[in-house]
């Protein structure tokens, strides 16, 4: 993606830490619940008290396995636990139990829409995904010249799956597309709630540039931007870091060969990446196999049974909605990207109303808009799929026009209840053909110019009468009104 504005290519690899949706921690039975008072969801095991020993939470292993299978990873027959040693105040054991050389998921890939050309896809390869325990949280209070640090160890031992990509992404938009699709997949699988504001999904980005100069390709030193917890932050941090690296290279000329990887943070307020304290020496984690935990051997039967039981992936859902419901790729995409709840809602409405396209268009416009306005999820949506299906069924059958259907929908949103109740409450009655005919005649008589225009071929002239007709009788079906008017003009002609 070289251009005059951007005389370089960005190379991005992501490390995504996903909190798995278990009720208890990875190596003890403490709750993983977010927002508990500090240091209340803790026990000797997650506090690293002398003598305490870890015991694996098998649910976490199962969720990691599901994720790996969905990402096309190879699941090795044996996976083990290692200790990663470093001193940090929110790491009570002085080591983190993680996986070093035998991760639970090896390789894999994720296919995303190419942000530069939506009709194309890009496949981002994965290196691995491994399980590990989270550390605690340090809170630094440096107000009033004091330097208090408080440590909350509630998060210690929370199960994380770290998904590591190859450096296959070439723009901030691609990184964002990767994260969006990954989050969608994880929520489809129900392996994580991906609540980024609660830290359930955190991202580190490894970024450097390839600069073309005089027929040579120069790579800039790699920077790891740590711990971003919004997609917007990731996108902006990468964009900023690319600029920063380019300017730095212009100034210093340093390449990847001259400098080891550095760690930066993202300052959201200042909108810039900032270097974090450089380590005096390269980190030496002194990995060793954790002697307190046995290796996990996953049988072929377990892996296959998990594969068979996997929930539908978003990519599969997109294809299926197109073929089963004959809706456009774009529409399928919008629905699927809203998550599994919206897909299920759509399918119920499509089947119940017998009109998938109408269901698709109503959901994309009315339902999603309302959800956004109300800030609610589909699970809390006031109009159930069955109710909406009934309403749209009546529209398709010609019993209600779209405008009246929207009135009913609005009524249902506010008052709930059934479609029949809403119709009754709004005073909607079906108008018989004779009544409409006399109304048509009356208006045509009063508007000879319209009759003239229609005869001259300007069919849309009737539109101006529809408004008047609705004023006189709100229950008039505009489509029916229009047809009868045309018949009257023709027969009079």
Residues forming the site for other proteins (CB under 8 A): 44, 47-56, 83, 85, 87, 89, 92-95, 147, 151, 282, 284, 286-288, 291-294
Coil, helix or strand at residue 285: coil
Specify whether the CB–CB gap between 103 and 79 falls below 8 A: yes
Q: Which is nearer to other proteins, 146 or 372 (CB)?
A: 146
Q: How far apart are the first and last CA of the chain?
A: 65
Closest separation in Å from C-beta 253 to other proteins = 30
What burial class does residue 311 get, using C-beta atoms within 10 Å of its C-beta: 0-12 exposed, 13-18 middle, 19+ buried? middle
Cβ count near 221 (within 10 Å): 19
Q: Which is nearer to other proteins, 51 or 145 (CB)?
A: 51
Closest separation in Å from C-beta 53 to other proteins = 5
Closest separation in Å from C-beta 6 to other proteins = 38
Question: CA separation (Å) from 389 to 183, 251, 274, 359, 396?
Answer: 29, 63, 53, 8, 10
Closest separation in Å from C-beta 28 to other proteins = 9
Coil, helix or strand at residue 34: coil
Quote the tokens at residue 187.
């929520």
Q: Which is nearer to other proteins, 92 or 352 (CB)?
A: 92
Closest separation in Å from C-beta 94 to other proteins = 3
Which is nearest to 158 in space by CA: 58, 64, 289, 30? Answer: 30
Question: In sequence order, which residues have a C-beta less than 8 Å from that of residue 277 and are 6 or more positions away?
Answer: none
Question: CA separation (Å) from 64 to 15, 160, 203, 288, 346?
Answer: 15, 9, 18, 22, 29
Q: Which is nearer to other proteins, 284 or 432 (CB)?
A: 284
Closest separation in Å from C-beta 338 to other proteins = 42
If you compute the radius of gyration of the chain from its CA atoms, what whole number of angstroms results? 30
Which is nearest to 71 in space by CA: 18, 22, 32? Answer: 18
Closest separation in Å from C-beta 292 to other proteins = 5
Q: Which is nearer to other proteins, 76 or 289 (CB)?
A: 289
Specify whether the CB–CB gap between 475 and 405 falls below 8 A: no
Closest separation in Å from C-beta 329 to other proteins = 49
Closest separation in Å from C-beta 87 to other proteins = 6
Report how far residue 372's alpha carbon sits from residue 370's, in angstroms, rounded to the nearest whole number: 5
Closest separation in Å from C-beta 132 to other proteins = 16
Report how far residue 139's alpha carbon sits from residue 141's, in angstroms, rounded to the nearest whole number: 6
Closest separation in Å from C-beta 101 to other proteins = 11
Closest separation in Å from C-beta 109 to other proteins = 31
* H/E element, 62: helix 58-70
Which is nearest to 318 in space by CA: 307, 329, 309, 302? Answer: 329
Specify whether the CB–CB gap between 225 and 258 falls below 8 A: no
Q: Which is nearer to other proteins, 100 or 246 (CB)?
A: 100
**Pairing relation of β-strands 223-228 and 262-267?**
parallel
The dihedral built from the CA positions of residue 434, 436, 440 and 446, taken in this order, carries a sign that is positive
Report how far residue 224's alpha carbon sits from residue 275's, in angstroms, rounded to the nearest whole number: 10
Q: Which is nearer to other proteins, 298 or 488 (CB)?
A: 298
Q: Which is nearer to other proteins, 51 or 434 (CB)?
A: 51
Q: Which is nearer to other proteins, 61 or 444 (CB)?
A: 61
Specify whether the CB–CB gap between 383 and 413 falls below 8 A: yes
Q: Which is nearer to other proteins, 54 or 221 (CB)?
A: 54
Q: Which is nearer to other proteins, 59 or 125 (CB)?
A: 59
Cβ count near 131 (within 10 Å): 26
């Amino acid at each position: 993606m070289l251009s005059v504005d951007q005389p370089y290519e960005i190379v991005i690899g992501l490390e995504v830490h996903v909190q798995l949706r278990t009720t208890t921690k990875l190596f003890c039975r403490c709750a993983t619940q977010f927002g508990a008072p500090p240091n209340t969801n803790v026990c000797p095991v997650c506090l690293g008290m002398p003598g305490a020993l870890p015991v694996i939470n098998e649910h976490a292993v199962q969720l990691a396995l599901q994720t790996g299978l969905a990402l096309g990873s190879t699941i090795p027959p044996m996976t083990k636990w290692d200790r990663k040693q470093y001193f940090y105040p929110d790491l009570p054991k002085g080591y983190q139990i993680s996986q070093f050389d035998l991760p639970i998921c090896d390789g894999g890939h994720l296919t995303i829409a190419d942000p530069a050309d939506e009709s194309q896809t890009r496949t981002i390869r994965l290196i691995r995904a491994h399980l590990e325990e989270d550390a605690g949280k340090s809170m630094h209070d440096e107000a009033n010249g004091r330097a208090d640090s408080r440590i909350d160890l509630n998060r210690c031992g929370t199960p994380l799956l770290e998904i590591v990509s190859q450096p296959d992404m070439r723009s901030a938009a691609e990184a964002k597309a990767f994260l969006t699709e990954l989050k969608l997949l994880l929520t489809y699988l129900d392996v994580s709630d991906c609540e980024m504001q609660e830290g359930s999904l955190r991202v580190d980005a490894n970024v450097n540039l390839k600069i073309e100069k005089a027929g040579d390709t120069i790579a800039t030193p790699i920077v790891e931007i740590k711990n971003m917890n919004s997609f917007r932050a990731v996108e902006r941090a990468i964009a900023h870091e690319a600029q920063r690296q380019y300017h730095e290279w212009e100034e210093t000329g340093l390449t990847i060969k001259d400098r080891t990887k550095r760690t930066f943070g993202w300052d959201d307020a200042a909108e810039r990446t900032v270097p974090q304290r450089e380590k005096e020496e390269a980190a030496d984690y002194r990995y060793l196999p954790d002697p307190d935990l046995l290796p996990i051997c996953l049988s072929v039967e377990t892996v296959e049974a998990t594969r068979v039981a996997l929930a539908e992936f978003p990519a599969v859902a997109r294809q299926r909605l197109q073929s089963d419901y004959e809706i456009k790729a774009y529409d399928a995409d919008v629905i699927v990207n809203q998550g599994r709840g919206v897909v299920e809602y759509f399918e119920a409405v499509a089947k119940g109303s017998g009109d998938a396209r109408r269901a698709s268009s109503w959901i994309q416009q009315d339902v999603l808009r309302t959800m956004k306005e109300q800030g609610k999820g589909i699970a809390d949506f006031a109009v159930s799929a069955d109710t909406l299906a009934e309403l749209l069924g009546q529209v398709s059958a010609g019993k209600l026009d779209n405008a009246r259907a929207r009135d009913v929908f609005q009524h249902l949103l506010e008052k709930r209840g059934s479609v029949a109740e809403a119709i009754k409450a709004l005073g909607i009655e079906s108008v018989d053909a004779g009544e409409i005919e006399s109304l048509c005649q009356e208006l045509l008589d009063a508007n000879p110019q319209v009759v003239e225009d229609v005869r001259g071929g300007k069919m849309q002239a009737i539109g101006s009468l529809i408004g008047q007709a609705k004023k006189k009788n709100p229950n008039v079906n505009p489509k029916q009104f229009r047809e009868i008017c045309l018949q009257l003009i023709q027969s009079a002609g």
